[in-house]
Amino acid sequence: MAKRPNSPQWVDNAVFYEVYPQSFYDTNGDGIGDLPGIIEKLDYIKSLHVNAIWLNPCFVSPMRDAGYDIADFYKVDPRYGTNQDMKKLFKEAHKRGIHVILDLVVGHTSIDHPWFKESAQQKENKFSNWYIWTKGIWSCFNDNKWNSRLIHGYGSRDGSFLPNFFWSQPALNFGFATQDAPWQLPVDHPACLAVREEMKKIMRFWLDMGADGFRVDMAGSIIRNDPDHKEKIRFWQEVRGMINKDYPEAFLVSEWSSPDIALKAGFHADFLHWFPEHNDLFRLEGWKKSEWPQNKGKHSYFRKEGKGDITRFLGVVSAAMKKVDGHGYMSIPIDNHDMPRLNMDRDEIDLEIAHAFLLTMPGIPFLYYGDEIGMRQLEGDYLPIKEGCYPPRNGSRTPMQWTKGKNFGFSKCKPNQTYLPMDPDPNAPNVNEQEKRPDSLLNRIRKLVELHANEKGLAAYAEFIPIYAEKNKYPLIFMRVNDERKILVIINPSKKAYNVSIKLPHEIGDVEILNEIGKISIHQTFGSKDAQVKVSGCSYCICSI
């Protein structure tokens, strides 16, 4: 039986909604979404039955990476509003039972951050060692390990700096677990300790204001030369100690994609998405124009063609699950602001089936804004590459579609002034239209989220038992089980019907259908654990048995 890890109770059946602030709702007509816009839409967010929001970075930034390049960790960027607006967002969200976690960009800043500007000075100062610099610009030119990763010739300092992501995101210096060059500082160097303390101070600042935790960006990127992750784990455990002591209701989720390490380090959950088999679910065909050559001829599992294979993905997940059981959670999102959206040539039924999967898998589901109405992955030359959103990121970050008509109700600005272009199809999905249609994707996803939020058998920690998950075959059948409930999930994204024999861990009791589409029947031979499952094309069923 799966063990409930030590994490805040509100997380047990939580569903998060990821809000990309610049693309959500604009209240001042500048074409960019803002915090007052999110506050105005809180009732809508509440109506989705989610109980938490993950807000992408909205701090002062030159926006070379859409805010993941921070220039002041303590201040909301004016384009989004003020710190007072943030405080109000926390308060209004809490009134509605919604928690808000912020994005903590821990591993780097922008080159425009005053700390970096100081650090790049020739003259030694307090911040000289807050970033990773070689001693002398020429010293690493013959070093294969580091040279290709260093930025040479920036500013007046005679040294090269190490970026963490784009060139304009210099890595903060958390130190090197072992040093193989004199410019590499040990983790207990006073400057590295000062960086650690500053990060904790930043966390305290927002938690004290009302934040409910953090999604930690590139959480594994701190501390170099640390192959067994010992020093990283030590730092994050220190952070978790602070959270346990002073903010026991706060939640920490890492972007690490190594749940066994991240949970050992003290995160309550880790996103598991940067692994190739994740693409097997939704993305093997790539998106139309920019098809990934390595995926040629392969098929996603969640496609009507029914040619996919679920076993590679489940192999990775099951292996990870064995390691994390009882220590925390994994979150396997369908998509997010870094990936193409789920809707690449999929219809409402396909999208609903994918969400039935998202909302019944173990761990904590994160729903990406706009997916609840089936916003499309956009592509084409008309999409600018803005603020580092190289494709497919530009096509998945376009503004939310609220109503039909001008800018889909996102902003009152001129049509060509929205943050990114709106979907050019005037009939693209929008919230208003789907509110009116009882069986719209929006309303069907609401039901699925509501089920997840209230069903103990779907709690993040409920055990996951694969029942029918065969190579190149459909449907996928699994159970979610805890002390109180036994949930059976049958998912058939293929348009073909199937009839399969399964063996259950126990006899079926009363079957209660909790949600379904299509036709599914289960026949169990009296007194045995064998059953026959018949599914129609494009169907799913979630039932308690």
Q: Which is nearer to ligand BGC, 273 or 444 (CB)?
A: 273
Rounded least distance, CB 129 to ligand BGC, Å: 22
Q: Which is nearer to ligand BGC, 169 or 360 (CB)?
A: 169
Rounded least distance, CB 107 to ligand BGC, Å: 7
Among 65, 387, 423, 455, which residue sits at the site for ligand BGC (rule: CB under 6 A)? 65
Binding flag, residue 143, ligand BGC (CB under 6 A): no
Say which residue the tokens 């006899």 belong to: 507
Q: Which is nearer to ligand BGC, 62 or 518 (CB)?
A: 62
Q: Which is nearer to ligand BGC, 105 or 448 (CB)?
A: 105
- How many residues bind ligand BGC (CB under 6 A)? The answer is 9
Taking the C-alpha atoms of residue 463 and residue 104, their distance in angstroms, rounded to an integer, is 30
DSSP, res 68: S
Rounded least distance, CB 274 to ligand BGC, Å: 9
* 3-state SS assignment for residue 477: strand
Q: H helices within 210-289, ranges in order?
A: 230-246, 259-264, 279-282
Binding flag, residue 335, ligand BGC (CB under 6 A): no
| N residues, the chain | 545
Taking the C-alpha atoms of residue 298 and residue 313, their distance in angstroms, rounded to an integer, is 14
Rounded least distance, CB 165 to ligand BGC, Å: 4
Backbone dihedral angles phi then psi of residue 442, each to the nearest 5 degrees: -55, -50
Binding flag, residue 338, ligand BGC (CB under 6 A): yes
- For ligand BGC, the binding residues in 240-259 under the rule CB under 6 A are 255
DSSP, res 13: T
Rounded least distance, CB 26 to ligand BGC, Å: 21
Among 85, 212, 217, 423, which residue sits at the site for ligand BGC (rule: CB under 6 A)? 217
Q: Which is nearer to ligand BGC, 63 or 538 (CB)?
A: 63
The answer to whether residues 119 and 133 touch, using CB atoms and an 8 Å cutoff, is yes
**Residue 169: closest CA among 128, 108, 221:** 108
Binding flag, residue 329, ligand BGC (CB under 6 A): no
The answer to whether residues 333 and 366 touch, using CB atoms and an 8 Å cutoff, is yes
Q: Which is nearer to ligand BGC, 17 or 165 (CB)?
A: 165
Taking the C-alpha atoms of residue 391 and residue 398, their distance in angstroms, rounded to an integer, is 12
Q: Which is nearer to ligand BGC, 105 or 451 (CB)?
A: 105
Taking the C-alpha atoms of residue 457 and residue 480, their distance in angstroms, rounded to an integer, is 6
Rounded least distance, CB 95 to ligand BGC, Å: 29
Cβ-based neighbours of 231, under 8 Å, separated by 6 or more: 174, 175, 177, 187, 223
Residue whose Cβ sits closest to ligand BGC: 68
Taking the C-alpha atoms of residue 101 and residue 119, their distance in angstroms, rounded to an integer, is 30
Among 58, 93, 105, 488, which residue sits at the site for ligand BGC (rule: CB under 6 A)? 105
Backbone dihedral angles phi then psi of residue 186, each to the nearest 5 degrees: -70, 160
Rounded least distance, CB 386 to ligand BGC, Å: 13
Binding flag, residue 165, ligand BGC (CB under 6 A): yes
Rounded least distance, CB 56 to ligand BGC, Å: 8
Among 185, 218, 265, 310, which residue sits at the site for ligand BGC (rule: CB under 6 A)? 218
Among 17, 20, 68, 540, which residue sits at the site for ligand BGC (rule: CB under 6 A)? 68
Taking the C-alpha atoms of residue 229 and residue 177, their distance in angstroms, rounded to an integer, is 9
C-alpha angle with apex 422: 419 to 428, nearest 5 degrees?
Answer: 155
Count of CB atoms within 10 A of residue 6's CB?
11
Taking the C-alpha atoms of residue 251 and residue 364, their distance in angstroms, rounded to an integer, is 12
Footprint of ligand BGC (CB under 6 A): 65, 68, 105, 165, 217-218, 255, 337-338
